[in-house]
Structure 1
Amino acid sequence: MSNQLSFVHPTPDSPWGTYLSQVDRVTPYLGHLARWVETLKRPKRALVVDVPIEMDDGSVRHFEGYRVQHNMSRGPGKGGIRYHPDVTLEEVMALSAWMSIKNAAVNLPYGGAKGGIRVDPKLLSVKELERMTRRYTSEIGIIIGPQQDIPAPDVNTNPQIMAWMMDTYSMNVGATATGVVTGKPIHLGGSLGRVKATGRGVFVTGREAARRINLELNGAKVAVQGFGNVGSAAAELFAQAGSKIVAAQDHTGTIYNGNGFDLSLLIPHVKATGGVAGFKGAEPMGNEEFWDVKCDILIPAALEGQMTAERARRTTAKLVLEGANGPTVPSADDILADRGVLVVPDVICNAGGVTVSYFEWVQDFSSFFWTEDEINLRLDKIMVDALRRIWGVADQHKITLRTATFAVACERILAAREERGLYP
């Protein structure tokens, strides 16, 4: 049976092509559940919407928006919303599928979903951004809801955008529904610890992985691609553990300091200027040179498809921690494995964000909120327990952590599919 969808034509290294390859690699480990594997290769529902808004100058512009629900056998859809000029339906499909895997890997009671609008939000005024967000929320309102599908922040979206989404949905249903989104401002039902949760998860899984390969974090050199919420939060925690953050790259450029950055100066610089470029405590370098930097730990925390086969051959890292979704293409995965480089895959490494989103959702339903220390303790335990279970599967079958993570997650998803049966 073909696993191709008539409206998507992926290449091997495209996001959806990468995901399909990952599913094919795990199929031999699924036993009798393999008969359901085609379920994983087709999204349950893909919604494409027109988002017309009136601009500040009185003109009307149309933006294309998406919300894809990949699999909901284990619970309501869960996944972020990104605003980016390169957003496509295929990319959102892949991101929603990775959310299915991620949620199952850490055993959260969610399915996978993702959304986005093809737009450069930096070119919109605050009022235009609000009008676009509210219109998009109204358009996808037919499939989202606290028990149906719960969006969250992703690339170029933030707590303010989540507040507009929550308010719009609440106005349309006639009641305040704080649980319709996560990643909200604290005083609108947001959770403490949510902003830095993804970066914290990268650090926690990285710390466990470093122990496994006898890599001492104190003095370890770390290179970070993407210095937003995820990359900067992970960098801070590694620095607190004694590591040196020697290189950083984002959309503004690449910087290097062999002795490590002073993050108490770099993070305010990024917040003030919008990027790492121009930071006085480092030297600028070419963007492609980033992949040649001498480092022990590499954290790709930007967009998908960044670790290509060529870059995988060049990196000096012993440990790759995937803060971004889908940053390593399958051919690069094989090269890193052959070179003995340990990769902690995105679907477990960056699951801290959705885990604390789950905590936020639970707190919204109960109207009882936990302290940040409680949040972090619960997060650390879930991440460590999940990684240890996955590591056991990897050791048992002598497979990579990525294939082991998919094996654990796909088994949970397909077991739920089988037990629920087909209706009608």
Structure 2
Amino acid sequence: MSKQLNSFELACNHVLSAVKRLNLNPAVYEILRNPERVLTAAIPVKMDDGSLKVFTGYRVQHCSVLGPFKGGIRFHPDVDMDEVKALALWMTMKCAVLGLPYGGAKGGVTCDPREMSLDELERLSRGYIKAMYPLLGREKDIPAPDVYTNARVMTWMMDEFSGIKGYNEFGVITGKPPVVGGSLGREEATARGCVIAVREAAAALGISLNGATAAVQGYGNVGSIAARLLHEMGCRIIAVSDSSGGIYNPRGLDPVAVLQFKKNTGTVKGYPGSRPINNEELLALNCDILIPAALENQITEQNARNIKARIIGEGANGPTTPGADRILNEKKVFVIPDILANAGGVTVSYFEWVQNNTGYYWSEEEVNRRLEEKMVAAFKEVYQMYKARKDLNMRDCAYLVAVRRLSEAMWLRGWLGKGAEYQDKREAVLA
């Protein structure tokens, strides 16, 4: 991630713009730019060689006006407080856009899980829960997986929390395997939601997915599943990449075979029948659909003018900088923003939480049907605003939808005071 760009300040700027465009009380922005709670913790972990290493862990609880906090935990060398604050704010926006009864949160640990054994990762995961335990609970804050964490990590965390409580508390963590309270369809949810949004965008723009070309940056859980689902819809996947490099074949790649190759070798590089391609080349490919599913700030002012894709579905959080956004807008590239495009994960996490709380579990078909309903409804709400507000792009409109919903809840709950100034403006909130 580019450290020149403060992701939290960039996210705050989007919120400020939305508050001004909606003519809301400035207190809305002040609430949203200041997380409700921030915790930094030292997490001591005994390493396999007998040494002790102390990791830094973070949890940011951003805004609970819509409900309990919800947000993933990432293990990554670049994790810092500003990044976690930005991710928590984006989660608040994401939940508001989808109409979920959650507030945003995010967690992280500064570490490189690729250099750690499974035993070390388990001790780190359990140590994180011990450190964050006072903040967590199924009615308080419900974590989930994120970059370099997965269902196994979530199970360790749920088990640690349950051990402290003295009884099973499946609902405190989502993204678990189904056998321990996870939801069917959760593993594919972020990618499936992104592909549904891309499908809706293609239909709105008159682009047929049958025969459309697509490139995917990032071939982890989100990118690999998005590639497979697009392929199943008739798209030709011409390039994919991971942290080690990329591959390209204009005739198309088999996304399932590429994933198996990566599982066998640890990278997509060297996949038979492809040629190497670097990150900048992948982003600049002549294709219909581009899915950035890696990390933040990948599409910048330096490379945005080279992008030829017609639709960008942001599978990652914050992959496009504001300068790049302006360029893409000028080029008429249709960007489906992260707070809409990758909200499928938190949506099915919500379904998992509901199932844990009721003790009744749905079929995968039911989960996917409900996800489809939520994603289509959210896309249509944002797209309708986009069509009505010719001066704004889809990201602007997604923030308008989210901030309007948040401000309505703030006003109704009395968070904004009872001053006459806001009373005069409340129709702008409730419109």
Equivalence map 1:133-144=2 (5 Å): 133-144=125-136
Map of 1:6 onto structure 2: none
Counterpart of 2:371 in structure 1: which amino acid? L
SS of alignment partner, residue 104 of structure 2: strand
In structure 1, the partner of 2:71 is 79
Aligned equivalent of 1:127: 119
Q: Deviations over 1:139-172 (max 9, x none)?
A: 0011011000000000000011000100111111
Distance 1:12 1:35, change over 3 A: farther
- TM superposition shift of 1:394: 1.6
Partner of 2:425: none
* Aligned residue identity for 1:413: L
Rounded to whole Å, the distance in 1 between the matches of 2:123 and 2:97 is 36
| Superposition deviation, residue 271 in structure 1 | 2.0
1:47-196 matches, cutoff 5 A = 47-196=39-188
Matches of 2:43 and 2:3, distance apart in 1: 28
Distance in 1 (CA, whole Å) between partners of 2:263 and 2:119 is 21
Normalising by the residue count of structure 2, what TM-score does the alignment of the two structures yield?
Answer: 0.94
Q: Distance in 1 between matches of 2:277 and 2:38?
A: 41
Report SS of the residue matched to 2:202: helix
Question: Secondary structure in 2 aligned to 1:56?
Answer: coil
Match of 1:419 among 409, 412, 417: 412
State yes or no: 1:402 paired with 2:402: no
For residues 364 and 299 of structure 1, the distance between their equivalents in structure 2, rounded to whole angstroms, comes to: 32
CA distance in 2, matches of 1:99, 1:202: 15
Identity among equivalent positions (%) equals: 46
Q: Distance in 1 between matches of 2:122 and 2:3?
A: 35
- After superposition, the Cα gap between the structure-2 partners of 1:423 and 1:175, relative to the gap in structure 1 and judged at 3 Å, is farther
Q: Which moved more, 1:128-137 or 1:289-298?
A: 289-298
For 1:35 and 1:311, the matched residues in 2 are separated by 37
RMSD in angstroms over aligned alpha carbons? 1.5
Q: Once the two structures are superposed, what CA deviation does each residue of 1:307-344 show, in whole Å capped at 9, x if it has no partner?
A: 10121100110111000000000011011001100000
CA deviations on 1:166-189 (whole Å, 9 max, x unpaired) are 011111111110000000011000
Distance 2:112 2:323 in 1: 30
- Number of the residue aligned with 1:366: 358
Note if 1:252 corresponds to 2:237. Answer: no
Contact 1:308–1:332 under 8 Å retained in 2: yes
- Post-superposition Cα deviations, 1:226-280, rounded to whole Å, max 9, x if no partner, equal 1111111111111111111101111011110001101231121122222211211
Is 1:32 the counterpart of 2:24 in the alignment?
yes
The one of 343, 346, 357 equivalent to 1:354 is 346
* 1:243 and 2:246 matched: no
State which of 375, 378, 396 in structure 2 corresponds to 1:386.
Answer: 378
> Aligned to 2:274, which of 272, 282, 306?
282
Match of residue 317 from structure 2: 325
Point out where structure 2 has 5 or more consecutive residues left out of the alignment. Answer: 418-431
SS at match of 1:219: coil
The answer on 1:295 being equivalent to 2:282 is no
Aligned counterparts of 1:211 and 1:13: Cα–Cα separation in 2: 34
Question: Which of 199, 203, 209 is residue 201 of structure 2 equivalent to?
Answer: 209
Q: Distance in 2 between matches of 1:273 and 1:34?
A: 53
Letter in 1 for 2:379: L
The answer for unaligned runs of 5 or more in structure 1 is 1-9
TM-score, normalised via structure 1 length: 0.95
Aligned equivalent of 2:422: none
Does the C-alpha gap of structure 1 residues 422 and 27 become closer, same or farther in structure 2, counting only changes over 3 Å? closer
